[in-house]
Amino acid sequence: MAAKTTSATPAQRPLTRTEKVHRALRLAILEQRLTPGARLPEDMIGEAFGSSRTIAREALGRLAAEGLVELLPNRGAFVANPTLEEGRGIFAVRAALERAMVRQLAGRIDAEVARTLHEMIEEEGRLAAKSDAEAIRLAGEFHLYLAGLTGNPLLERYLTEVVSRCSLVMAMYGRPHSADCGAREHREIVEAMLAGDFARAGDLMEHHVEEVAARAQLGARVDCDVRAVLADFAAQMPKE
Amino acid sequence: MAAKTTSATPAQRPLTRTEKVHRALRLAILEQRLTPGARLPEDMIGEAFGSSRTIAREALGRLAAEGLVELLPNRGAFVANPTLEEGRGIFAVRAALERAMVRQLAGRIDAEVARTLHEMIEEEGRLAAKSDAEAIRLAGEFHLYLAGLTGNPLLERYLTEVVSRCSLVMAMYGRPHSADCGAREHREIVEAMLAGDFARAGDLMEHHVEEVAARAQLGARVDCDVRAVLADFAAQMPKE
DNA sequence: TCTGTCAAGATCGTATGCACTATTGCCGGG
DNA sequence: CCCGGCAATAGTGCATACGATCTTGACAGA
């Protein structure tokens, strides 16, 4: 009952243009090719992809729903530029969701899935030292695979979203090589799940996510909320 | 730090048409005036609201992102028709999020907010016996108010979504008067939060949500997965 | 020099039209 | 009577056009 993988190649319909643009932009943002705060005019996007504004607009709308771009009415779209505070909030939500996920999964992992999990963990270890972007992506994959196992579409959707946004936050505020998820921690979690110890598995995962957040954000650079900065400087100014 | 209410009337810009239609449809779905599974052609919606398909299309897109409508490529939009299984999944996610929410809030509720909370709980008790739709809406309000207190935009967004969808699920599968949230349980949760007992508050809330789900879904009517039903009937048919 | 006004440009909000896809009912052949 | 193909229809996918709104830079007045 917990062995169904998430994608069984569902029809492979030829992808609407909107979706193509959506995916492309999503990737560009997650790989930091489009840096946080960057302006994304509909015209420019349409032109870049050889489509009309209609497409660009719809893609931007979806990205906004995922929290990867911010959509200001009559102003335009910008790559999401989460504050450190928001970043912490995102990690908090992620921790809550992942705890519930592994609790639900504990004791329902069959042998084949267990093998896949162990393989993924090994792969992580191997690639941890390579490119930073790759490491971030790979780390997310383990978590998303687990999400797929739950068979809970909403949980899966939310996790996809928060994992994406966590990647973004880590890329923004994280120290260079802080993205790796720690193969040892993953292993422990899988152990607990296999043992059917849902309480322990949940606690481990919750702690794991919090730990990743803590590791990454040690080197947090001050975020550029212009208003706040100005307020600070205004307060420091010589009076009168 | 936890006393900021969620909406400080942020500019009140005159609401784009898309948003108006979006809200209207949302309400119609949550009040069950548009029943699950109902077809929602863009033309019809545009005509109904005196707008063009563009508006209808965008509103439907947003509703799809919230999970209130299902969008089938080249087929059209339908009011979401969650299976009982999906309903349980939604409640599971909700339980996880609400647990995290009250844990975070515990010990950070000031006197004024506490009074507001107690007022809301009383109001619930008063209105529980009245209209069913009202009861569902009111029950959600308590939870959403708490979400606003966290100051975590993502948590707030997700909770808004799951509360909506839970309402839908309860309306579909719940017994007539099962929607009330139980003022006593709410009171206990607030007590625990005021006492700063975050572990107890979290557990109470998690249990509370699960309890609501259990109460509501006792009378669960079989969900209409056409394929499955047909398979059943096909198997029961006289052979040859 | 500073400030308020205004016009030009950029960009979004919305409407409309055409092309394409999926569904449905019809019809002829078995 | 049943089945497969075909045409009509409904409805979406996408492009384009126009009006509305916001931003920006220039300019005149204090």
CB A89 within 8 A of CB A99: no
For residue A239, the model assigns a pLDDT of: 34
For residue A177, the model assigns a pLDDT of: 63
For residue A224, the model assigns a pLDDT of: 46
3-class DSSP assignment, residue A76: strand
Protein footprint on strand D: which nucleotides are under 7 Å from a CB? Answer: 10-17, 21-23
Chain A, chain B: beta-carbon pairs less than 8 Å apart: 68
Residue type for B46, please?
A: G
User: In angstroms, what CA-CA distances link B103 with A154, A210, B190, B202?
Assistant: 22, 15, 11, 5
3-class DSSP assignment, residue B87: helix
Q: Do B92 and A162 touch (CB under 8 A)?
A: no
Chain B CB contacts of A61 below 8 Å: 58, 61-62
Name the pairing type of β-strands A76-79 and A69-72: antiparallel
Nearest to B89 among A61, A95, A154 (CB): A154
For residue A216, the model assigns a pLDDT of: 75
Most confident of A16-25, A181-190, A220-229: A16-25
Q: B133 versus B40: which is more confidently predicted? A: B40
Of A34, A69, A78, A83, nearest in space to A225 by CA:
A83
Confidence of residue A226 (pLDDT cuts 50, 70, 90): very low
Confidence of residue B215 (pLDDT cuts 50, 70, 90): confident
Q: Worst-scoring range by mean pLDDT, A107-116, A182-191, A198-207, B188-197?
A: A182-191
pLDDT in tens, A89-106: 999 999 999 999 999 999
Gap from B72 CA to D11 C1', Å: 12
pLDDT in tens, A125-180: 777 666 666 777 777 899 999 999 999 999 999 999 999 999 999 888 877 666 66
pLDDT in tens, B19-66: 999 999 999 999 888 999 999 999 999 999 999 999 999 999 999 999
What is the mean pLDDT of the segment spanning A72-84? 94
Query: Is residue B4's pLDDT more than 50?
Result: no
Q: Do A155 and B93 touch (CB under 8 A)?
A: yes
Query: Is residue A51's pLDDT more than 70?
Result: yes
Indicate the average pLDDT of chain B.
85
Other C-beta atoms within 10 Å of A5: how many?
Answer: 11
Chain A CB contacts of B13 below 8 Å: 73
Closest CA–CA distance from residue A72 to any residue of chain B (Å): 12
pLDDT in tens, A12-48: 567 899 999 999 999 999 988 899 999 999 999 999 9
CB B150 within 8 A of CB B128: no
For residue B197, the model assigns a pLDDT of: 97
Nearest to A89 among B61, B97, B153 (CB): B153
Domains, chain B: 17-79 (1.10.10.10), 84-217 (1.20.120.530)
Q: Which residue is nearest to nucleotide C21 (CA to C1')?
A: B74
Query: Is residue B78's pLDDT more than 50?
Result: yes
